[in-house]
Amino acid sequence: DPCRPGVRDAVQLCINAGVKVRMVTGDNLQTARAIALECGILESDADATEPNLIEGKVFRNLTESQRLEFAEQISVMGRSSPNDKLLLVQALRKRGHVVAVTGDGTNDAPALHEADIGLAMGIQGTEVAKESSDIIILDDNFSSVVKVVRWGRSVYANIQKFIQFQLTVNVAAITINIVAAISAGNVPLSAVQLLWVNLIMDTLGALALATEAPTDELMHRHPVGRREPLITNIMWRNLMIQAVYQVTVLLVLNFAGSRILNPKHDQSAGYAFRLKSTLIFNAFVFCQIFNVFNARKPDELNIFQGVTKNYLFMGIVGLEVVLQVIIIFFLGRFASTVHLSWELWLASLVIGIISLPLAAVGKLIPVPDQPFGDFFKKR
């Protein structure tokens, strides 16, 4: 079959994304070579040599160790059987690669099932192939595979963004309450306030980050390896910087809040404590609201790029602010809060805003390539 329009561009996008495209076909080597050159799988005639270009029978007759070595370099396999395709998939997976396989015939079912991601053709694909696959390409177009890669990376990146955001909230909240409980005998963040942050604010934060659409930048990153940690060194750096900042500021408010707020003489000690706790709670929430913006771009300085085009994200952030105003002004009995003056609202806002330049400075700090978790493993 001739190379379809747009396939060459799709192959190039995969190459730019660090995805190696391999063609396994039953056609003879000459036909396979011509199609591979036309599609861009082989760049030139110089690449059309063994082991880049190999016959299925040759690959099949190799020992297992030889197949593992050859599999890394194979770009085109001609005169291949369904079993050869399966052997190639198994070899690549044993080498630690994440493998996606496309197919439409019943004989492709074993390879589709063996692969990490099986992609069956929706139009020409058989029912057996579709049942054995994970994703069905409805238009039978290879360009749709690029969309799969793009959206897959976007979902993975959004999960990482939320994990960084969520861990920052939990580390800061737990540390603040533990330190305050041990040293002062009381906690600044009540159980209801923590539930509010975790059930309402964090849920909305997750929805906001989940609405981030795929970007072109995702297709210029290296693929995530099978054994790479979900929480990267960059994420650890970002969340620790934010957590340390939040813990420091809020503990200062907790221990020196009475002197900073300078309550009036006619105010009871109980009211003064609730006022201080409300300020801490409000500042903590605003830290999380602004930290959602930091989580959008964990490794980029311009965290606001494209944010105005994401109306749902901005709407959710606005809803968080409205809900926080409601809980302070109207749900005081439920959340153990009191009304705050405009000066204290401004102070809470400033404490939250400071997290933005702090995150930008933190991103200039280099991180090691070796995952932090490896330092704790037994050697």
Query: May I ask the CATH class of domain 154-377?
Result: mainly alpha
**Residue 199: predicted pLDDT:** 87
Domain spans of the chain? Answer: 7-146, 154-377
Cβ contact 348:283 at 8 Å: yes
Task: Determine the average pLDDT of the residues in 132-153.
Answer: 91
- To the nearest whole percent, how much of the chain has pLDDT over 90? 65
Q: Does domain 7-146 have CATH number 3.40.50.1000?
A: yes
d(CA 312, CA 314): 5
- To the nearest whole percent, how much of the chain has pLDDT over 70? 96
Residue 123: pLDDT over 60: yes
Task: Determine the average pLDDT of the residues in 272-283.
Answer: 90
Cβ contact 250:171 at 8 Å: no
- The string of DSSP codes covering 242-274 is HHHHHHHHHHHHHHHHHHHH---TTS-HHHHHH
Task: Determine the average pLDDT of the residues in 20-46.
Answer: 91
Joined together, the tokens standing for residue 221 give 């990153």
Q: pTM, whole model, 2 decimals? A: 0.87
Residue 359: pLDDT over 90: yes
Name, in order, each residue with C-beta under 8 angstroms of 105's C-beta and a sequence gap of 6 or more: 82, 125, 126, 129
**Residue 87: predicted pLDDT:** 95
d(CA 178, CA 74): 57
Please, where are the H alpha helices in the chain? 7-16, 29-39, 56-60, 64-71, 82-94, 109-114, 127-132, 143-184, 191-195, 202-210, 233-261, 269-296, 311-329, 332-335, 342-353, 355-362
Cβ contact 168:239 at 8 Å: yes
Cβ contact 294:238 at 8 Å: yes
- For 4, other C-beta atoms within 10 Å of its C-beta total 13
- From the list 147, 314, 295, 165, the residue with the least C-alpha distance to 218 is 147
Element (H, E) at 372: none
**Residue 57: predicted pLDDT:** 93
Distances (CA, A) of 12 to 8, 16, 148, 288: 6, 6, 15, 40
Question: In the structure, what pLDDT confidence band is assigned to residue 370 with cuts at 50, 70 and 90?
Answer: confident
Sheet holding 76-78, edge to edge: 23-24, 76-78, 53-55
Name, in order, each residue with C-beta under 8 angstroms of 291's C-beta and a sequence gap of 6 or more: 165, 168, 242, 355, 359
Instruction: State CA 121 to chain mean position distance.
Output: 28
pLDDT in tens, 89-101: 999 999 999 999 9
How many residues belong to the chain?
379
pLDDT in tens, 46-76: 788 888 999 999 999 999 999 999 999 999 9
Task: Determine the average pLDDT of the residues in 206-221.
Answer: 89
Question: In the structure, what pLDDT confidence band is assigned to residue 377 with cuts at 50, 70 and 90?
Answer: low
Q: What are phi and psi of 103, to 5 degrees?
A: -170, 160
When the pLDDT of each residue in the chain is averaged and rounded to a whole number, the result is 90
Residue 374: pLDDT over 70: no
Joined together, the tokens standing for residue 41 give 């799988």
